[in-house]
Amino acid sequence: MIKAITKNYIKYYQGNAPIILSAPHGGDEKPKEIKTRTKGVFDKDDYTYELTELIIEEFYKQTNLTPYGIIADISRVKVDINRAKEEAYEDEKASIPYNQFHSFIKSAKEEIEAKFAKGLYIDIHGQSHPKGYLEFGYLLDNSILKQYDGDLKENIKDSSISALSKFTKECFIDQLRGPHSMGSLMSNQGYDSIPSIKLPYASDDNYYEGAYDTIRYGSLNGGNISGIQIEFPYKDVRDTKENREKCAKAFVDCLLVFIKIHLDLDLKK
């Protein structure tokens, strides 16, 4: 497997597969030379750093390929990398890791577009909603997910996976919550997910639809790389090494099925 490098508090895996994984909120480093933020959200997404690395390792085991990986070592109290610059930091020194993170993603996207002409960007987060579902975010909020299929399908251009329809035979609704959606595939592995056949939307409205990184690096604004924000619950998923390893295995199993069906790429060795 390709080894990672670390530059400006950002760990980078130089990939050779049409997949980008990023994890902006799992870092612990709190450099004294960067002032701590006083506004915004400061919560760490516990063990998303470790989970992302396990997913990269599992992906390699199953494919002999390495996804591009961009993982923040720096703590969210210093910089929130999943925000626009004006919200991300208060100390200009924090612009260095911020820009490094986004530079790595941009270069990964450019390489994938050049080599494969299509791909998938996945932004990995952790949430603590009471029901403990996986939440797959496509930039469509819960009120939109509640719509009937006939209305919901009109939102394709507002989603972060609008480019998938260029490569898959399945309709937009099936990409979101059909049998071969990431949510339904993970539900079949024992991880209840939104949206999916089983849970097409959040009944209690606790759902994250995606944020800055997914807006910027998915296909909302064009290109052939679609994006998904994934919010992993803590209990039974992130809480122990055993559970993280189990989830990483299930996730890669599902991801490879999703890529084969929706990007027409069979990457499994």
Q: Where are the alpha helices (DSSP H) in the chain?
A: 48-63, 85-88, 95-115, 142-145, 149-152, 172-177, 182-188, 212-217, 241-262
State yes or no: pLDDT of 1 exceeds 90. Answer: no
Locate tokens 């992302």: which residue?
A: 52
Going by CATH, does the domain composed of 4-262 fall within 3.40.630.40? yes
pLDDT tens column, 192-205: 999 999 999 999 99
Percent of the chain with pLDDT over 90: 99
State yes or no: pLDDT of 176 exceeds 90. Answer: yes
Going across the sheet that includes 119-127, the strands are 4-7, 10-13, 68-72, 19-23, 119-127, 225-233, 134-137, 193-194
User: Which pLDDT does position 269 carry in this prediction?
Assistant: 87
Query: What are the sequence ranges of the domains in the chain?
Result: 4-262
For residue 256, what are its two tokens?
């490879």
pLDDT tens column, 207-254: 999 999 999 999 999 999 999 999 999 999 999 999 999 999 999 999
